[in-house]
Structure 1
Amino acid sequence: MPTSFTLSPQDRVMVFAPHPDDEALGCGGLIQQAVALGAQVRVVFQTDGDNNPWPQRYVEQRWKIDAACRQRWGARRRVEAARSLQTLGLPADAAAFFGLPDQGLTRLSQQKDARTLELHVSELQTFRPTLLVVPSQDDNHPDHVGSYDLIQEAMRRAGMDLPQWAYLIHRRWFCPEAAGLTLHLSLHQKARKLAAIECHETQLFLSSSRFCAYARDSEVFIPSNPT
């Protein structure tokens, strides 16, 4: 298996983020390098990360989180996502927000929910990516596994078989240097990745050190269906 890779100006890169912040944590360096090359980049946020009660309780100093509270939190996280993408060099229209249920992607995948899959198929067919950047199926977070499964089913329905690079976030014992494709970041790219992570202010109140630690010297991706 190769240990490094390159992008080209001809690439059309579609990044799937189960929640706002995954785009920066998992592939903030890759997005920067794709943009610098002139490749087209599209970032799909599958949920708004609105079912995120503990940071919301801390920030808003409230215990009960109802539907209106979650909607307000999700809207705030969309704004943070847009700022993150701008920091990484992307315009506002490079983002798509599906607004699917946070903590519900596995259920939607298991049900093969028609509307959810239609959203995914439409994005794939409209953007016509040459490369997908997706959450790993080995991630411990159920939304990340559900995201991966939804993408595979959507590709099947769209009649596509695309190369995929998977990023892994929620798996503490995984050693990223042990396997996969390594993308090395310059000091400038590392700093911009950190700045993009810091755009997600709602997530830093309780987890600042953990989040900022993702601004490493490299990003590692697990390839599948390589061409």
Structure 2
Amino acid sequence: MSQAYLELVKAHDALLQKKDAPLYSSLTGLNPAKPQTAANAPVVMIFAPHPDDECIIGALPLRLLREAGYRVVNIAVTQGSNAARKQPRWEELSNACHYLGFELRETIPGGLPNVTTKTRDGVPAEWAEKVAVIAALISEYKPAVCVFPNDNDYHSAHIGTHYLAMDALAKAGHACHVANSEFWRQMDKPNALIETNLQDTADLITALACHVGEVERNPYHLRLPGWMADNVRRGAEVVGGQGEAAPSFSFGTLYRVEYFDGKAIAPNDKKYVVSAGDDIKKLFA
């Protein structure tokens, strides 16, 4: 029996099972972006729980870099828990950031250990040391925007990174916009759906393919477009409005954008659907 959508399903399956998709253990053969940013350009800081998160949640920072001239500084909060993989992961992360044009900073050699709420609640002295490291980086860069996971993003290091960044912002007394991201668990109330055009989406996947050791065991770089497409499906109603016409673009990332006044998050009832042709800075107007 002929089935109209069988060929569509087969095409999707072929992409997900693709065996010859290139991985990049070096930048040989790649043409890294060379963004021009002013010395006094505003800074967006990514607090990445693991090497690879900078690519997965990097849609907003990449657009700010390419369209608004922001500097993007990726803070490698941890370098994973596998000691044997820390140095290889750092090298992979360096390639990914270099490709995208993101600056890269280490927290401490090898990354911060035990970034979890268990440490925050049970070992306050150790947690305070971690907060001091991040607060010092915030004071150094004075970011206009900070991007990090939401407080219910399932993975213990993702949730820990949320509280680490929030505690560090409070310790530094630094006011800025905050964009919470999601990956392992959906946020209850995202308020921003950010489109990435075809080139930006492809570049995020290419950078993710620099994390060779990770995507060899789980080819989630091939699944990133599917995740981003589903973000558009969900964001059409959750952000755009129930029953509203869906946006026509294919790929997007969801965030919750708010303002931290140096002490606490200020309420934000606005919702944003930012397509590729829109001014990305309208998020912060």
TM range (shorter): 0.7 to 0.9
Q: Show the counterpart of 2:91.
A: 79
1:17 to 48, 55, 60: 48
Question: Cα offset for 1:188?
Answer: 0.7
Correspondence list, 1:1-227, <5 A:
10-27=41-58, 29-36=59-66, 37-51=68-82, 70=83, 72-90=84-102, 94-98=103-107, 99-101=111-113, 104-110=115-121, 111-112=123-124, 113-171=127-185, 174=186, 179-208=190-219, 210-215=220-225, 216=228, 217-225=251-259
Query: In the alignment, residue 81 of structure 1 is paired with which amino acid?
Result: L
Aligned length: 192
TM-score for both structures, normalised by structure 2: 0.62
The residue type equivalent to 2:64 in the other structure is A
In structure 1, list runs of 5 or more residues that go unmatched: 1-8, 52-69
Matched residue type, 1:115: E
Return the letter of the residue paired with 2:97. L
**Residue type at the aligned position of 1:44:** I
Cα RMSD, aligned residues only: 2.3
> Residue 201 of structure 1 aligns to which amino acid in structure 2?
V
**One-letter amino acid of the counterpart of residue 74, structure 1:** K
Question: Identity across aligned pairs (percent)?
Answer: 22
Query: Once the 2 structures are TM-superposed, how far is the Cα of residue 75 of structure 1 from its aligned partner?
Result: 0.5
TM superposition shift of 1:115: 2.0
Amino acid at match of 1:83: N
Cα 1:146–1:31, aligned 2, differ >3 Å: closer, same or farther? same
Q: Which has the higher contact order (CA 8 A, sep 6+)?
A: 1
Return the alpha-carbon distance in structure 2 between the equivalents of residues 179 and 31 of structure 1: 17
Asked if 2 retains the 8 angstrom alpha-carbon contact of 1:31 and 1:88, the reply is: no
- Checking the alignment, whether the CA contact within 8 Å between 2:115 and 2:161 is kept in structure 1 is no
Amino acid at match of 1:136: N
**Please, what TM-score do these two structures have when normalized by structure 1?**
0.77
Q: Which has the larger radius of gyration?
A: 2
Are the equivalent residues in 1 in contact too, given 2:115–2:164 (CA < 8 A)?
Answer: no
